[in-house]
């Protein structure tokens, strides 16, 4: 493994504090890890939503992850552009989300007040017979759904395109 | 690593600005997080970013008052989420503006006086009943959606980047308030009457949103001339109101000059609550 790959894999181990099965690489918010000549490391991340409070925790977790690997000088930089969308999430990430009980983003987003998106699949029973209870849920990036077959409510990672 | 070691090592990270809100060193947004590489706004660009940031900050403060008070749990969460998004926009805009004056987002939020705030008067209007809050949100989110969409083409790359993020979020806010407006407008006699009342109360403050200032002309393609948004805004809100069975009231326009620091009596109370902790314990972090 090259040094650059090693550094990236240290950063990629950090998980989302709200969705601990997803690494920040799975989520697509880890943009770059660069080694500087003075031995310090620069990590570039991007927020999912402008006000996402998880960014602070992720920043601290990055310091810790590198600290454990013996790298003390880390600069975590936030970038806004290009703006994150759910397309940045990896396929692997989407699979892990579903296994965790959160429906992964599907389709291409909402189109006005009438949602014409693809049906959201229940992560428990895989039924497509589901409905949106609330577009805003436990975190900015999720909506609350309910399954009309198994009757379980579940989180849906909503599309941001 | 034990706690002392962790604290010591965190202290060595970066050159985070002194921040009254940081949980641990490094949590205040830094200009280099927001500004496109090496960009430093001119005084005028910073002033414009301050306008946008102040609108978002005061609106976020108003909206967050609904947390634990909304009519149902889903709505409580929705308004809290919207407040959080809008606060995120405010933090980005204020951090960028502060770069021109060597100030942090916290300096600008906590250490300015009422007359230094450049927010539109509509965002400081009281939450009122739920219908007033929803109507205010409909008015402002349609406006912000149009404005941020146009600012994607701003010649200031940082403003364009902040708006690229914000516009997607505001799109959800717009849908949410439009759906509620229609539901309440078409609901019971009482809910429709409350929405008519909300329109009467808020409509006078919509005029200010489209007032062009000298600053907009000076900035040219960095900014959007507010008057150019009016036609599209009126069409969009009229469509929603029509679906809700509501009409634009015939009330006149309020004299409002929030952009130059002239505010209604409400802003002082908002700031008193928002700023008290930072001012009572200057430099505190938690």
Give pLDDT tens digits for A63-86. Answer: 999 999 999 999 999 888 888 999
Nearest to B141 by CA among B165, B107, B161, B166: B166
Domains of chain B: 3-280 (1.20.1260.10)
In this complex, do B84 and A110 lie within 8 Å of one another by their Cβ atoms? no
In this complex, do B1 and A78 lie within 8 Å of one another by their Cβ atoms? no
| Tens-digit pLDDT profile for residues A5-28 | 999 999 999 999 989 999 999 999
Q: Is the pLDDT of residue B54 over 60?
A: yes
Q: Which of B77, B88, B164 sits opposite A136 (nearest CB)?
A: B77
Break chain B down into helix, strand, coil percent, rounded to 5.
70, 0, 30
Q: ipTM score of the complex?
A: 0.81
pLDDT at B12: 42
| Tens-digit pLDDT profile for residues B117-142 | 999 999 999 999 999 999 999 999 99
If phi over 0 gives left and psi between -120 and 50 gives alpha, with beta otherwise, what is residue B283? left
8 A C-beta contact, residue A23 and residue A45: no
| Tens-digit pLDDT profile for residues B224-278 | 999 999 999 999 999 999 999 999 998 778 788 999 999 999 999 999 999 999 9
Q: What is the pTM of this model?
A: 0.87
Kindly identify which residue of chain B lies nearest to residue A75, measuring between CA atoms. Answer: B14
pLDDT at B25: 40
In this complex, do A81 and B36 lie within 8 Å of one another by their Cβ atoms? yes
Which residues of A fall below an 8 Å CB-CB distance to B? 47, 49-53, 56, 59-60, 63-64, 67-68, 72-85, 110, 112-113, 133-140, 144, 160-161
Question: A134 forms bridges with which residues in the sheet?
Answer: A144
Nearest to A144 by CA among A81, A101, A96, A108: A101
């Amino acid at each position: 493994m090259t040094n650059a790959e090693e550094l990236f894999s240290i950063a990629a181990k950090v998980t989302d504090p709200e969705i601990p099965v997803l690494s920040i690489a799975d989520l697509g918010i880890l943009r770059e890890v660069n080694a500087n000549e003075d031995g310090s490391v620069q990590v570039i991340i991007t927020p999912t939503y402008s006000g996402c409070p998880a960014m602070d925790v992720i920043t601290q977790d990055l310091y810790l992850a590198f600290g454990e690997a013996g790298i003390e000088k880390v600069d975590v930089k936030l970038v806004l552009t290009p703006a994150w969308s759910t397309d940045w999430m990896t396929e692997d990430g989407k699979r892990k989300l579903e296994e965790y009980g959160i429906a992964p983003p599907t389709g291409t987003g909402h189109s006005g007040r009438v949602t014409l998106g693809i049906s959201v699949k229940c992560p428990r029973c895989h039924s497509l017979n589901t409905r949106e209870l609330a577009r805003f849920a436990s975190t900015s990036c999720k909506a609350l759904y309910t399954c009309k077959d198994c009757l379980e409510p579940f989180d849906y990672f909503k599309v941001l395109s | 690593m034990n706690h002392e070691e962790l604290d010591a090592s965190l202290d060595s990270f970066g050159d985070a600005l002194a921040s009254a809100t940081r949980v641990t060193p490094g949590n205040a947004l830094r200009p280099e997080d927001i500004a496109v590489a090496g960009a430093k706004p001119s005084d005028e660009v910073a002033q414009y970013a301050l306008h946008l940031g102040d609108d978002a900050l005061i609106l976020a403060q108003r909206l967050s008052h609904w947390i634990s008070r909304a009519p149902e749990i889903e709505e409580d969460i929705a308004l809290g989420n919207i407040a959080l998004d809008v606060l995120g926009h405010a933090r980005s805009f204020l951090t960028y503006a502060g770069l021109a004056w060597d100030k942090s987002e916290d300096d600008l939020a906590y250490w300015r006086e009422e007359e230094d705030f450049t927010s539109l008067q509509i965002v400081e209007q009281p939450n009122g009943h739920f219908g007033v809050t929803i109507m205010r949100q409909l008015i402002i989110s349609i406006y912000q959606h149009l404005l941020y969409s146009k600012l994607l083409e701003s010649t200031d790359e940082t403003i364009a980047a902040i708006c690229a993020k914000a516009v997607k979020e505001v799109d959800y806010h717009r849908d949410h308030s439009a759906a509620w407006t229609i539901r309440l407008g078409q609901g019971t006699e009482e809910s429709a009457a409350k929405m008519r009342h909300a329109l009467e109360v808020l409509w006078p403050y919509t005029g200010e949103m489209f007032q062009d200032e000298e600053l907009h002309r000076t900035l040219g393609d960095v900014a959007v001339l507010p008057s150019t948004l009016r036609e599209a805004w009126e069409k969009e809100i009229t469509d929603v109101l029509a679906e809700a069975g509501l009409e634009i009231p015939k009330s006149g326009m309020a004299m409002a000059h929030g952009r130059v620091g002239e505010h209604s009596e409400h802003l002082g109370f908002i700031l008193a609550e928002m700023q008290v902790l930072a001012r009572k314990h200057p430099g505190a972090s938690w």
